[in-house]
A and B are shown apart, each in its own frame.
Chain A
Amino acid sequence: DAGVIQSPRHEVTEMGQEVTLRCKPISGHNSLFWYRQTMMRGLELLIYFNNNVPIDDSGMPEDRFSAKMPNASFSTLKIQPSEPRDSAVYFCASSHQGALSHGELFFGEGSRLTVL
Chain B
Amino acid sequence: AQTVTQSQPEMSVQEAETVTLSCTYDTSENNYYLFWYKQPPSRQMILVIRQEAYKQQNATENRFSVNFQKAAKSFSLKISDSQLGDTAMYFCAFPPGNTGKLIFGQGTTLQVKP
Contact = CB atoms under 8 A, between A and B. Distances in A.
Contacts of A91: 45
Interface string B81-114: 0000000000101010001111111110000000
Interface residues of A, number: 25
Interface of A: 31, 33, 42-43, 45, 48, 50, 55-56, 89, 91, 93, 95, 97, 101-110, 112
Contacts, number: 52
B50 interface: yes
A87 to B, nearest CB: 15
Interface of B: 33, 35, 42-47, 50, 52, 91, 93, 95, 99-107
A89 B99 CA distance: 24
B100 A104 contact: no
Interface residues of A: mostly helix, strand, loop or mixed? strand
Contact of A104 (B35, B99, B105): B35
B74 to A, nearest CB: 19
Contacts of A106: 47
B102 to A, nearest CB: 6
Which of B46, B99, B101, B106 gathers most chain A CB within 10 Å?
Answer: B101
A104 B103 contact: no
A57 B101 CA distance: 12
